[in-house]
Amino acid sequence: MTDEIDIPTEPRAAVDALATHLTATADRPVPPATNRWLGEAEAVARDATSDGLDTQTRRKRVRQVATLLESADETGDVVADRHIEAAIECCRVVLANE
């Protein structure tokens, strides 16, 4: 994965991209302890994409994802790391206007 990853600048699109990036880490060779953090972050991110969520709840979910990603250890996988970096950037887009 050498191409630049585009990060959406619109918060709702960034939430969708966040979930997509975390889903992409599921098939990567990541240590089990780190994979647990990523799996939980992915589940919360997918919940944040749900229709009908108000902006406050969506942001709360994204804050939870950001906290989970901060807790995750190194993956040892370049592709997973790039997706995690992109996911963190997506969180920043969503949370920038708080």
- 61-86 pLDDT, tens digit per residue, is 999 999 999 999 889 999 999 999 99
> Quick one: pLDDT at residue 98?
64
The percent of residues above 70 in pLDDT, for the chain, comes to 94
CA distance readout (Å), 94 to 25, 36, 48, 89 = 20, 23, 11, 9
Nearest-angstrom CA–CA distance, 91 and 25: 16
Nearest-angstrom CA–CA distance, 32 and 40: 12
